[in-house]
Structure 1
Amino acid sequence: MGILSRASYVIRSKVNAVLNRSEDPTETLDYSYEQLRDELQDVKQGIADLTTQKKRLQIQKRRLEENVEKHNDQARQAVEQDRDDLARQALEKKKQKMSQIEELEGQISQLQRQQDQLVEQKDELQRQIEQFRTKKETMKARHEAAKASARVNEAMTGAGDEMEDVSRAIERAEERTEDMEARAQAMDELRENGALENQLDDRSSLEKELDAVQQDGEVDAELDTLKSEMGKEEEPTANGGDEAAETELEQELEDDTVSDVEVDDSEVEAELDELKDEE
């Protein structure tokens, strides 16, 4: 096999494979059915043409038969008038017309036989078309049922292309969600450990440390002032009752730190007024 022959064979096989994949059996059946109907219409048209031609020959034959009668009458009239010459001419024309009639009868008979054959072929073709139509509709119904069943099975098993796309979309969404959850957990851990600085705070690390020291100093100064006002400065703990009070105070402070309590603004203002009066 030469190179061109092999290339042609490969191309034809590829084209046939593409056509087989893209071919719709229902469309193919409908097209074949229409082709048969077109052939049936051609046969009917051929029968109509033969019938028309036969009718023309029959009309021509009838006119010739009328001429034969006419020439026969002319010959009788000529004999009555003792005009044998005219009678001979009329009989000769009569003979010619009869020969033409015989020829026409042969043609008409031939056309009739052809017409009968075409009618038989038309009837047979029509029967085949009806059988094909019944089989076509049955095959189409089976094909549609099989296609629907295949779609249902693919949907249930996830074997179809659309289900594969859906599965891939779900997998991508799960991966992105897991990545985002892991990122959020990492950010929380960094923020809790202090490794992640507040981007809105433009202070340097030194300034932050100084502010923290200053805040601690202010708290200590306020604590010393509070102790001096209450006469508790540098006094050791007297008895177990004071220790219990300190423990209870520590517990209250812890509870205030942990719980999220709603504070009334009016109560805060009243407490501030009391502190001012004491001063």
Structure 2
Amino acid sequence: MGILSRASYVIRSKINSVLNRAEDPTETLDYSYEQMRDQLQDVKRGIADLTTQKKRLEMQKKRLEENVDKHNEQARTAVEQGREDLARRALEKKKTKMNQIEDLDRQISELQNQQDRLIEQKDELQTRIEEFRTKKETMKARHEAAKASSSVSEAMTATGEEFEDVGRAIERAEEQTEDMEARAAAMDELHESGAFDDVLSDKDSIDRELESLSTDSGVEAELETLKSDVGVEESTADPDAVDEEEIEEVASEVDDEEIESELAELQDEENE
């Protein structure tokens, strides 16, 4: 096979492949059915035309037969009147008409045979068309059913893939939600433990504890000083047993301004 032949073969193959993909079987079947119907109409028109020609010949034959009868009468009349010459001429015309009638009979017979064959072909073609129509509708129904089934299968496949995507999206959403919930719980825990304060301050836990102890010691020292200044000594006795008059006497000896000053300093230290 030469290069040009191979190229031509490849091109035809590709064109045929493209046509096969673009072809709609149902449209092809409908087109074939219409073509067969057109052929049937052509056959019917041919039968009608042939029948018309045959009828014309039959009408012409009928007129010739009438002329034959007329020439018979003419010949008879001429003989009765002693005119053999006229009788001979009438018989000659009769003979010509008889020959024409015989020729018309042959033509009419041929046309009749053709008409019979065309009618048989028409009936056979019509039967085939009806059979093809039944097969065509069956094939179209099967094709549509297969097409619908394929569409449903494709839709189900697409739906399954979409469901998988939705499932994965739900899983990711759950994971993100759990991460956010865990982070929020961790933040609350860190906030309650004071870890955020650690971040904002340069002091560690030991510094804060020592500072707390120093503050407590200062408060206690101030309290002892205050108690010493006001003349109050620690006692294990019940406070309710102290004489009220003695308390009033001690309180009167303490300067009010001094007490207020001490209380103000104590409050400032607590605020710090």
Q: State the secondary structure of the residue aligned to 1:48.
A: helix
Identity value in percent:
72
- Shift of residue 158, structure 1, vs aligned partner: 1.7
Partner of 2:249: none
Equivalent in 235, 250, 273 of residue 265 of structure 2 = 235
**Are 2:117 and 1:117 aligned?**
yes
Partner of 2:82: 82
Give, as a single letter, the amino acid of the residue that structure 1 aligns with 2:265: E
| Partners of 1:232 and 1:134 in 2: CA distance | 119
Question: What does 1:1-279 correspond to in 2, within 5 Å?
Answer: 1-158=1-158, 235-236=265-266
Gaps of 5+ in 2: 181-259
| Partners of 2:9 and 2:20 in 1: CA distance | 16
Partner of 2:228: none
The TM-score, its normalising length taken from structure 1, stands at 0.60
Q: 1:20–1:81: structure 2 CA closer, same or farther, 3 Å change rule?
A: same
| Partners of 1:127 and 1:63 in 2: CA distance | 40
Q: 1:233–1:90: structure 2 CA closer, same or farther, 3 Å change rule?
A: farther
Q: 1:233–1:24: structure 2 CA closer, same or farther, 3 Å change rule?
A: farther
Q: State the secondary structure of the residue aligned to 2:40.
A: helix
Partner of 1:224: none
Q: 1:136–1:232: structure 2 CA closer, same or farther, 3 Å change rule?
A: farther
| Partners of 1:42 and 1:5 in 2: CA distance | 40
Give, as a single letter, the amino acid of the residue that structure 1 aligns with 2:84: D
| Partners of 2:261 and 2:81 in 1: CA distance | 183
Per-residue CA distance 1:112-160 (angstroms, 9 max, x = gap) = 000001001100110110111011001000000000000000010129x
| Partners of 2:60 and 2:98 in 1: CA distance | 12
- Shift of residue 232, structure 1, vs aligned partner: 8.1
Give, as a single letter, the amino acid of the residue that structure 1 aligns with 2:64: L
Q: State the secondary structure of the residue aligned to 1:235.
A: helix
Q: 1:233–1:112: structure 2 CA closer, same or farther, 3 Å change rule?
A: farther
| Partners of 1:124 and 1:146 in 2: CA distance | 32
The TM-score, its normalising length taken from structure 2, stands at 0.61
Gaps of 5+ in 1: 186-229, 251-279
Give, as a single letter, the amino acid of the residue that structure 2 aligns with 1:88: R
Higher fraction of helix: 2
Give, as a single letter, the amino acid of the residue that structure 1 aligns with 2:15: V
Q: 1:237–1:107: structure 2 CA closer, same or farther, 3 Å change rule?
A: same
Give, as a single letter, the amino acid of the residue that structure 1 aligns with 2:12: R
Q: State the secondary structure of the residue aligned to 1:82.
A: coil
Partner of 2:205: none
| Partners of 1:231 and 1:120 in 2: CA distance | 140
The RMSD of aligned alpha carbons is 3.2
Q: 1:231–1:23: structure 2 CA closer, same or farther, 3 Å change rule?
A: farther
Per-residue CA distance 1:39-63 (angstroms, 9 max, x = gap) = 0000000000110000000000000
| Partners of 1:82 and 1:156 in 2: CA distance | 108
- Shift of residue 32, structure 1, vs aligned partner: 0.4
- Shift of residue 236, structure 1, vs aligned partner: 3.8
| Partners of 2:263 and 2:55 in 1: CA distance | 144
Q: 1:72–1:156: structure 2 CA closer, same or farther, 3 Å change rule?
A: same
| Partners of 1:8 and 1:121 in 2: CA distance | 40
- Shift of residue 233, structure 1, vs aligned partner: 9.2
